Amino acid sequence: MNHARIIGTGGHLPEKVLTNADLEQRIETTAEWIVERTGVEERHIAAPGETTCDLAEHASRRALEAAGLEPSDIDLIVLGTTTPDHVFPSVATQLQHRLGCPGGPAFDVQAVCTGFVYALDIADRFIRTGAARRALVVGADTFTRIIDWRDRGTCILFGDGAGAVVLEAADKPGIIDSRLGADGRYKELLWVPAGVSSGYDQTRQNAAFVEMRGSEVFKVAVTTLKDIAEQILTANRMTVADVDWLIPHQANRRILAATAKRLGLPEGRMVDCVRTHGNTSAASVPLALDVAVRDGRIQRGDTLLLEGFGGGFTWGAVLLTY
């Protein structure tokens, strides 16, 4: 039992939908510009009072149901988020409490849009060492809470949501390999300048919101997503031809298309939810995975390549047999 495999997936999007036509009313933009430059047509926005833990709970219950398990079967929760309900305690501990499965370790991982991929890598290691047997791995964010709705370079891109998977110990993979990375030198290309320890700069109106140098992020994202896919495939003596489905971080349709093109992967073998989800940060990869599992595109035995990229920068790839 020294492998981990996904036995259930779940996703949840808040009810409220914000369309490009809605954004045309708020900022100087056009629906055409947004679709052409990003591929996003609409995104879901958490209601006032609806939190990251609320979204995570819905997605987790769906994943448990798909796995045919009860919450009490779970002995580890790892949750990727940048927008926790509170500074502390973590969302993971509150999720554990709501599900009613106390006792095992539960913690949040902060790797921005790579949060779920980091969480999956960590949970896989717990299972492979025997420290856990069944893990709930979640990516959940209410990223729109840290968006400056006057900034047309960011507010068009992001949405809220949560995705989850249940991992179980297995005799064979499952997760074949995973690779994580980070480079903090890129901090100011994509960040929220405010913070608990560094303080809130009252002189800067937007100090508690996401700031992004979009076109610079774009270039590093495309290069990194291509490089990490090639690295993990080469290390496992595989090629793009062996991948049934590429599930990259859903940042921007043009980033997805450029990554597929550089890898020589037909776009029909890439899961793309950008049009209706926007960029949901840590939720983007597990949400896309859940969509493609539930609509029947992803079948048992398929080889999947999951890829994350986010602020820091952070990045990661997970290669697995579904």
Let me know if 12 is a catalytic residue: no
We find the least distance from the C-beta atom of residue 54 to ligand UT7, in angstroms, to be 22
> Measured from the CB atom, is 6 or 156 closer to ligand UT7?
156
- How distant, in Å, are the alpha carbons of 71, 81, 127, 196, 197 from that of 107? 16, 10, 15, 19, 20
Q: Of 53, 101, 113, 273, which is the active-site residue?
A: 113
Give the Cα separation of 240 and 196 in Å (integer). 43
Q: Which residues, including other chains, have CB under 8 Å from residue 296's CB and lie 6 or more apart? A: none
**Shortest distance, CB of residue 221 to ligand UT7, whole angstroms?**
4
The residue (of 159 and 174) whose beta carbon lies closer to ligand UT7 is: 159
- Whether 206 is catalytic is no
Query: Which of 26/204 has CB closer to ligand UT7?
Result: 26
> Hey, which residues does 164 pair with through a beta bridge?
10, 138
Closest residue to ligand UT7, based on beta-carbon distance: 214
Q: Which helix (DSSP H) or strand (DSSP E) does residue 43 occupy?
A: strand 42-45
User: Least Å distance between CB 242 and ligand UT7?
Assistant: 26
Q: How far is the CB of 256 from ligand UT7 (least distance, A)?
A: 10
Do the beta carbons of residue 134 and residue 74 sit within 8 Å?
A: yes
Q: Which is nearer to ligand UT7, 127 or 283 (CB)?
A: 283
The residues binding ligand UT7 (CB under 6 A) are: 29, 33-34, 37-38, 113, 152-153, 156-157, 214-215, 217-218, 221, 251-252, 255, 279, 309-310
Q: Which two tokens stand for residue 47?
A: 């209601």
Q: Could you tell me if 56 and 20 are in contact, meaning their C-beta atoms sit under 8 angstroms apart?
A: no
Q: Is 279 a catalytic residue?
A: yes
For residue 104, is the peptide bond before it cis, meaning its omega torsion is within 30 degrees of 0? no
Please give the angle made by the CA atoms of 51, 43 and 244, to the nearest 5 degrees. 100
- Which of 20, 249, 252, 273 is catalytic? The answer is 249
Rounded Cα–Cα distance for residues 29 and 25 (Å): 9
Catalytic residues: 113, 249, 279
